[in-house]
Amino acid sequence: MWFSIQNTLVIIFGYPLSYVEFIGTATGLLSVWLATKSNIWTWPIGLLNVTCFFLIFFQVRLYADMFLQVYFFVTSIYGWVVWHNRTAYNMIDILSKNQRVKLLGVLVLSTAILGIIVKNIHLIFPVVFNKPASYPFLDTFVAVLSVIATILLAQKKIENWWLWIIADVISVGLYAKKMVLFISIEYFVFLCLASVGLLMWLKIMRNEKRLSIG
């Protein structure tokens, strides 16, 4: 079946690239590139990306990342609606110090609680998950970072790019360790795009504020 990571599309330097990994990688790169441009098409393209990644992460037993794709699917629809309805006045903004402290608390607490659940999920649902999760706490930390970053992206808060940068750095190593090398390379590109996105959004934010004052 096309969604199996064992179904090879092409072999690149000895690495068997599956159909599902190729589609997920291509749509993921396109979606992030569109996000750096603050382009609304980032959301519908992202829906295809997260569907492919859900299938991949289930097969490589990164369960926190797998559940994360369900969240991404829902928030992609949310972001699509928000950007569509508020394009004219939804300007890029920053979080207050108080909001940043609260988000840090949510990040730490959520990682601890969800990490324990993911670590034991093969005991809780042995029929579905017949093997223990790989790197449950690190995987969960990336997942929680991504959850918060997606919300901030939908709300056009510039801090989303800082969180994506941290998540991408960790993901490059994590996916390389799990031997989904094409996705690891993709996340390195994501890291570069997130850095570009941060710089571009800073420029856009300055221009928006200049226009609003003028």
Structural domains counted in the chain: 1
Question: From CA 140, how far away is CA 118, in angstroms rounded?
Answer: 8
Residue 48: its pLDDT value, please? 93
Indicate if the alpha-carbon torsion angle 88, 69, 197, 139 is positive or negative: positive
Residue 82: give the domain boundaries.
8-213
Asked whether residue 172 is assigned to any structural domain, the reply reads yes
Asked whether residue 111 is assigned to any structural domain, the reply reads yes
Asked whether residue 209 is assigned to any structural domain, the reply reads yes
- Show Cβ contacts of residue 209 under 8 Å, excluding neighbours closer than 6 positions: 91
Asked whether residue 57 is assigned to any structural domain, the reply reads yes
Show the tokens assigned to 195: 């850095």
- Taking the model in full, what pTM does it have? 0.77
Do 88 and 118 form a contact (C-beta atoms < 8 A)?
no
pLDDT by position in tens, the chain (length 214): 667 877 877 887 777 788 888 898 899 889 988 988 878 899 999 999 999 989 988 888 777 678 878 988 998 898 888 888 765 446 788 999 999 999 999 999 999 998 998 888 888 888 777 778 788 898 889 989 988 998 898 888 999 999 999 999 999 998 888 777 777 888 898 899 999 999 999 988 888 766 665 5
Residue 98: its pLDDT value, please? 95
Asked whether residue 80 is assigned to any structural domain, the reply reads yes
Closest by CA to 69, choosing from 14, 8, 36, 27, is: 27
Do 28 and 190 form a contact (C-beta atoms < 8 A)?
yes
Asked whether residue 1 is assigned to any structural domain, the reply reads no
Question: From CA 53, how far away is CA 27, in angstroms rounded?
Answer: 10
Asked whether residue 3 is assigned to any structural domain, the reply reads no
Asked whether residue 129 is assigned to any structural domain, the reply reads yes
Q: Could you tell me the CA-to-CA distances from 166 to 94, 134, 196 in Å, in that order?
A: 18, 20, 14
Residue 186: its pLDDT value, please? 80
Tokens 């990682």: give the residue: 111
